Amino acid sequence: MPARLIDSLASTGPLADLFSDESVLQAMLDFEAALARAESRSGIVPKAAADAIGSVAKAGDFDLAALARETLRAGTAGIPLVKALTAKVRAASADAARFVHWGATSQDVADTALVLLLKRSQPLLGADLARLEAALERLSDQYAQTVMLGRTLLQAAPPVTFGLKAAGWLGAIRRSRTRLETAYAEALVLQFGGASGTLAALGDKGLDVGRAMAEDLAIGFPDAPWHTHRDRLGALVSACGVLTGSLGKMARDISLLMQTEVDEAAEPAGDGRGGSSTMPQKRNPIASSVTLAAANRVPGLVAAFLSGMVQEHERGVGGWQAEWPTVAAVIGSTGVAAASMAEAAEGLDVQEARMRANMDATRGTVFAERAMILLAAAIGRDAAHQIVEQAAKRSATQGSHLAQALAEIPEVAKILDAKTLGDLEAPEAYLGVTEELRKRLRFGKKKG
């Protein structure tokens, strides 16, 4: 991973490498080499010239620092790149140098380079999402019958199962991954339009060259150039935003379950993972912290991209130029969140006994809804609500269980027998269709 401490929590090593200077430059050079080959096949550029251009299109042979400085002055990386590439081709063949970047424009090379980088990012994200989904499937199955407190507005509520909670995370990740895959499929297309997006410099061969380039680079060929139409990239960036939000929701839940007072789950620990510089006893939610940081960053980045979509005529002023670092940051943040949650899920330590103990600590008050429903069948909901509310207050005052407090109310004793009251606080008996819902999320509706 490039040694940039300031970005060390904002990407994974592979994604940081993918968006490194050398990788970005090589993607631009790949465009130029593919352009020359395609034009050679169309009879526009001599094959010898295409071979000469391709032979020197190697990022390691270029002065990256100089290109970066000149890009700031030129307003686009394409201008200094073409100048430097032409110089290298000229050193090998003066005749071939005439055909560098023939018929293309700076945005063509910049946009297609970004698309090539995005194409390479897709399997990196996909691998970590696959790990995460597999781990959540296992957790959902393993803890399908593990009862725990439901929590609404951070307060104890009727029981759920940890299997359902894990399946809820899984369902959101799967839906987000589907949206992401669709967005990738639409976004991974060639940019090739020339000066005004008409390919006029190539006469009637523009589409032939474009198709050949797209085939060479193994990306899609769009209906037309998209210099100022950024909807495809906008959809991809937005899909990353939704996915990172879903990962952040999972991270929030895990970090709350890891609180000392809750202690129902914990991320995997290890050498250098989860400790504190001053408190040796701590086991911190590091994967969740990194993911939540990403979930905090990405919405602003998505908004920045979307605001830059309003671009002028056939070439944007400022909006397009803002995109490279924004898109790279979105992909890096999404990737580090996916990798972090995959690590957390694969080694999650689930404390079943603590889940039961925390439920027992409520002294049955989380079953107030159940008691109200049982009573309402005989006396109506409003009257039942008042009685159960009275019992809950008595339970809190006396430190007794809800069932005991209810049994002391004569009206309740007339309606609910001792066995019903005795079973009132059995969580397994008040799970509704929890397992059916879990299966629908885990396996899909048709298999549920």
DSSP sequence for 67-90:
HHHHHHHHSSSHHHHHHHHHHHHH
276 tagged catalytic: yes
CB-CB contact of 126 with 339 (8 Å): no
CB 308 within 8 A of CB 323: yes
**How far apart are alpha carbons 324 and 107 in whole angstroms?**
12
Q: What tokens does 150 get?
A: 């439901």
Q: Report the distance separating Cα 76 and Cα 248, nearest Å.
A: 35
SS3 content of the chain, % helix, strand, coil (to 5): 70, 5, 25
**Residue whose pair of structure tokens reads 């960036």 in the numeric block:** 237
What is the CB neighbour count within 10 angstroms for residue 430?
18
State the DSSP code for 8. T
Distance (Å, rounded) from C-alpha 221 to C-alpha 340? 35
Of the candidates 315, 354, 356, 440, the residue annotated as catalytic is 315
- Indicate which residue of 4, 69, 196, 276 is catalytic: 276
Q: Report the C-alpha gap between 440 and 393 in whole angstroms.
A: 38
Give the C-alpha separation, 119 to 105, whole Å: 22
Dist. CA 108–CA 202, nearest whole Å: 14
Known catalytic residue: 37? no
Active site positions, annotated: 276, 315
